[in-house]
């Protein structure tokens, strides 16, 4: 990945830290044109559903992909999403979902055995990236994950799959590919009819750890101090990255996600 000259790592530790600010100042349009069509892969999930809602709020034409071809969401706004049936592991089953799509956001991921995790986090996303390239999609945003040091070895298939998908994205979308690497994502998560208020844990931790950045540099255990981030912040930055032609391509870590989100809230 280090050999790719076309991507940048956007973090508040970088010497290029001011570049995102320049991008923000250069932005002239907050509402994307009506011709923008966004496809959300994994739109039924925790992060994907928030991305769909954020995109609808911004006036986008939003579609989602699910194995059932419908939504498992009970919120009224979900009816405004056009749902397509398909399986990322079989392009023929969902290629029509990419017709007319200008940008894609993938939230596909999962846990299980190492082989299963690689297939879902890696192969499925790689298939999505390649299909989007063939269909002439302009921008592709991938919700990846921050490194967690020792945890990477315990979830080897998960992280190897994520990084393989990242490599594919940087190769296929050198000028329109954005990778978000959040850590623990908090917010209200719905499981069936039950709502889990993850913010009760995540929000205080985010407040504390975002001001304890030096701890993140401690060898081996440092990554465990990566601050959580609110799902709303991830959704806002993802939609902007997918629709803003001057949003810089490359990797955005959790600190970059927080910074972009704060800029958008001013």
The pLDDT of 182-193, averaged and rounded, is 67
* H, E, C per residue of 22-74: HHHHHCCCCCCCCCCEEEEECCCCHHHHHHHHHHHHCCCEEEEEECCCCCCCC
| C-alpha to C-alpha distance for 56 and 40, rounded to whole angstroms | 12
Query: What are the DSSP calls for 179-214, one per residue?
Result: EEE-SSEESEEEETTEEEETHHHHHHHHHHHTT-GG
pLDDT at 237: 96
pLDDT tens, 136-165? 999 999 999 988 766 667 788 999 999 999
Query: Beta strand pairing status for 188-191 and 194-197?
Result: antiparallel
Q: Which CATH architecture has domain 37-214+224-263?
A: 3-Layer(aba) Sandwich (3.40)
Q: Which backbone phi and psi does 107 adopt, to 5 degrees?
A: -115, 20
Residue 118: which pLDDT band, with cuts at 50, 70 and 90? Answer: very high
pTM of the model: 0.78
Q: Has residue 264 got a pLDDT over 50?
A: yes
Query: Beta strand pairing status for 139-143 and 82-85?
Result: unpaired
Residue whose structure tokens are 């990236």: 129
The pLDDT of 219-240, averaged and rounded, is 76
pLDDT at 16: 38
* Average pLDDT score over the chain: 78
Percent helix / strand / coil, the chain, rounded to 5: 45, 20, 35
More confident position, 172 or 78: 172
pLDDT tens, 199-216? 445 344 434 445 545 545
Q: Has residue 224 got a pLDDT over 60?
A: no
Give the domain ranges of the chain.
Answer: 37-214+224-263
């Amino acid at each position: 990945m280090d050999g790719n000259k076309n991507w940048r790592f956007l973090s508040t530790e970088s010497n290029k830290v001011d570049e995102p600010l320049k991008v923000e100042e250069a932005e002239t349009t907050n509402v994307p044109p009506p011709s923008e069509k966004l496809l959300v892969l994994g739109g039924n999930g925790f992060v994907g559903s928030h991305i769909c809602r954020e995109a609808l709020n911004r006036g986008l034409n939003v579609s989602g992909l699910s194995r059932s071809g419908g939504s498992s969401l009970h919120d009224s706004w979900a009816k405004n999403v056009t749902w397509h049936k398909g399986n990322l592991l079989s392009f023929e089953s969902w290629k029509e979902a990419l017709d007319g799509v200008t940008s894609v956001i993938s939230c596909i991921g999962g846990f299980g055995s190492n082989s299963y995790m690689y297939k879902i986090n890696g192969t499925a996303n790689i298939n999505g990236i390649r299909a989007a390239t063939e269909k002439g999609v302009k921008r592709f945003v991938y919700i990846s994950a921050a490194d967690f040091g020792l945890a990477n070895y315990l979830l080897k298939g998960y992280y190897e799959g994520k990084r393989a998908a990242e490599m594919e994205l940087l190769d296929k979308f050198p000028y329109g590919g954005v990778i978000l690497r959040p850590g623990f994502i908090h917010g209200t998560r719905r499981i069936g009819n039950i709502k889990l208020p993850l913010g009760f844990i995540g929000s205080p931790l985010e407040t504390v750890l975002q001001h304890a950045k030096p701890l993140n540099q401690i060898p081996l255990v440092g990554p465990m101090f990566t601050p959580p981030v609110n799902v709303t912040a991830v959704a806002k930055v993802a939609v902007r990255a997918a629709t803003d032609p001057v949003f810089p391509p490359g990797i955005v870590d959790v600190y970059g996600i927080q910074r972009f989100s704060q800029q958008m809230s001013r």
